[in-house]
């Protein structure tokens, strides 16, 4: 399937020539009601406060049609080799369901059957741990699960775990406590380990290759601590399981209690709906909770098939993001969830977006001249309002905003003060920020003047649940995918991660004659 050259395509030139409208000119009650798209999991995507006129929307639709973005998505789902850099299929959608109903085979294996089989193994194992059939080596039931991984083996699963804790408690779901160790900094592991009851803790070692330096270092640190423990009868191997690929060294390691598998067709930042996220979430909240998350993601995956941008929230979000980046020239996007449960979700999206589309060559390895992925950052509201919103409101750069909000809280614990509940106050702040960013404020005092025309979108729903969380995850994964298609990028490799790893090994080997490395090493090692 062809990819168009953004430097020459008529569709791109037409967009550049589109008369730019301001948010102030466009925003109206009718527009707020109409610029609203259904997502999966009971969520909706509202783009009313974006500087996209009817004419611009029509040209974005024309660009989507010219690039056949929906067709490229179908091609990916059908098992085409979309990861051109590593010559691999891209199959993370298949971990939560077969969107097209077509058989996808790789390495002589039915991949849907493989992922379904691993799901069943996760269901059985997590149930046995949660009901006490599988215990620690001293006979005590497991009450804490600690995941050891980095990058996609940590960011997504950690964000999803934190997002579901309040829902689980508010819904009366039995929980095992979740902990995470990621950084090779020994202080990270030490801070977690010192608060663990080893007899009641199960460690999950996550590395697709089985060779990740940071993860194996933390594994060894944990195992050494367990071995030195004075607890009689403590057997470290009965307190550690692996999530890895079938071909990794960890798959053959008989010192593990069990191993669950993913494969090379699932990139780390897209792996939260595979065993990477499935094992820890099923252990902590039960497999039914993880299944509901998968179902929400699958529903959004199906909605992302729509070719009409006014019916496909992920596609509309991607095209608007393209417009903001390439037409308006905005270099960053802020993710602003008005939900404390999503405190680590922006960090996950940083990796998802910036590792996927932070590229300077196209799918053919050719240098490109147009901007690609923006800088992603964010924090929950209202905390962020008292931090970096000053720059967002009155800074010299315009930064587009993506708000996320819910009508209800998770725990169900709220009080009424000064005539309103805390959740109402939270959402009042969210609403006020959208309006303030869009409309601005005139004032005779320049310090109190707001230019406005700061574009924003809103994803909203009733409550953050496993289903809505899965749909939210899928929405952003598919947005990033569509933008990679638009920019003609391979969004599924990450060569930018590799150079630092190579040089770090060189430093550990004594710098091997590299004077620059040696000079810096002398400062720290």
* Beta strand pairing call for 259-262 and 240-245: parallel
Exposure letters 193-225 (e unless 16+ CB within 10 A, then b):
beebebbbbbbbbbbbebebebbbebbebbbeb
- The residue among 184, 157, 357, 378 whose CA lies nearest residue 268 is 157
CA dihedral (467, 471, 477, 482) in degrees, to 10, reads: 160
Rounded CA separation 147/349 (Å): 20
Q: Please list the active-site residues.
A: 355, 386, 501
* Strand positions, DSSP E, 154-305: 177-181, 201-206, 240-245, 259-262
Rounded CA separation 158/198 (Å): 21
Rounded CA separation 348/365 (Å): 27
What's the Cα-to-Cα distance from 230 to each of 15, 135, 240, 510, rounded to whole Å?
Answer: 69, 19, 18, 37
For 279, residues 6+ apart whose C-beta sits below 8 A from its C-beta are 122, 125, 126, 204, 241, 243, 260
CA dihedral (119, 121, 126, 129) in degrees, to 10, reads: 180
Task: Bin 411: left if φ > 0, else alpha if -120 < ψ < 50, else beta.
Answer: alpha
CB neighbours (10 Å) of residue 101?
Answer: 8
Tell me the DSSP string of 459-485: EEES---HHHHHHHHHHHHHHHHHHHH
DSSP 8-state symbol, 327: I
179 touches 142 (CB < 8 A): no
């Amino acid at each position: 399937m062809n990819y168009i050259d953004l430097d020459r395509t008529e569709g791109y030139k037409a967009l550049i020539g589109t008369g730019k409208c301001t948010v102030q000119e466009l925003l109206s009650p009718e527009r707020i009601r109409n610029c609203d798209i259904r997502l999966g999991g009971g969520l909706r995507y509202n783009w009313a406060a974006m500087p996209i006129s009817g004419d611009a929307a029509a040209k974005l639709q024309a660009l989507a049609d010219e690039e056949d973005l929906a067709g490229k998505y179908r091609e990916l789902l059908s098992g085409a080799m979309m990861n051109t850099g590593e010559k691999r299929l891209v199959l993370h959608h298949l971990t939560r369901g077969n969107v097209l109903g077509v058989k996808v085979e790789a390495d002589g294996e039915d991949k849907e059957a493989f992922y379904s089989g691993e799901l069943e193994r996760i269901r059985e194992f997590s149930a046995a741990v949660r009901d006490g059939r599988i215990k620690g080596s001293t006979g005590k039931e497991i009450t804490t699960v600690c995941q050891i991984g980095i990058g996609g083996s940590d960011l997504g699963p950690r964000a999803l775990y934190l997002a579901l804790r309040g829902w689980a408690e508010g819904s009366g779901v039995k929980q095992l406590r979740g902990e995470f160790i990621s950084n090779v900094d020994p202080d990270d592991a030490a801070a977690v380990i010192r608060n663990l009851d080893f007899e009641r803790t199960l460690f999950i070692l996550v590395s697709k290759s089985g060779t990740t330096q940071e993860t194996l270092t933390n594994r060894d640190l944990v195992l050494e601590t367990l071995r030195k423990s004075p607890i009689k009868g403590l057997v470290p191997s009965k307190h550690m399981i692996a999530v890895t690929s079938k071909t990794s060294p960890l798959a053959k390691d008989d010192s593990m209690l069990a191993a669950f598998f993913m494969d090379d067709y699932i990139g780390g930042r897209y792996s939260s709906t595979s065993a990477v996220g499935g094992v820890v979430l099923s252990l902590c909240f039960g497999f039914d909770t993880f299944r509901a998350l998968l179902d929400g993601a699958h529903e959004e995956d199906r909605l992302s098939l729509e070719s009409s941008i006014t019916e496909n929230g992920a596609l509309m979000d991607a095209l608007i993001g393209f417009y903001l980046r390439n037409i308006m020239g905005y270099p960053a996007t802020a993710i602003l969830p008005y939900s404390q449960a999503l405190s680590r979700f922006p960090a996950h999206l940083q990796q998802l977006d910036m590792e996927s589309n932070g590229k300077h060559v196209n799918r053919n390895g050719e240098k490109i001249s147009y901007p690609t992925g923006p800088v992603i950052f964010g924090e929950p509201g209202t905390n962020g309002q008292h931090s970096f919103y000053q720059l967002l409101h009155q800074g010299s750069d315009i930064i587009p905003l993506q708000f996320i909000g819910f009508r209800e809280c998770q725990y169900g614990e709220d009080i009424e003060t000064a005539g309103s509940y805390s959740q109402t106050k939270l959402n009042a702040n969210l609403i006020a920020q959208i309006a303030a960013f869009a409309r601005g404020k005139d004032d005779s005092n320049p310090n109190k003047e707001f230019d406005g025309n700061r574009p924003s979108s809103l994803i909203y729903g009733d409550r953050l649940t496993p289903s809505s969380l899965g749909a939210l995850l899928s929405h952003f994964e598919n947005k990033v995918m569509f933008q990679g298609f638009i920019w003609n990028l391979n969004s599924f490799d990450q060569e930018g991660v590799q150079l630092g790893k190579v040089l770090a090994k060189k430093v550990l080997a004594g710098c091997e004659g590299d004077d620059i490395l040696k000079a810096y090493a002398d400062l720290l090692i």
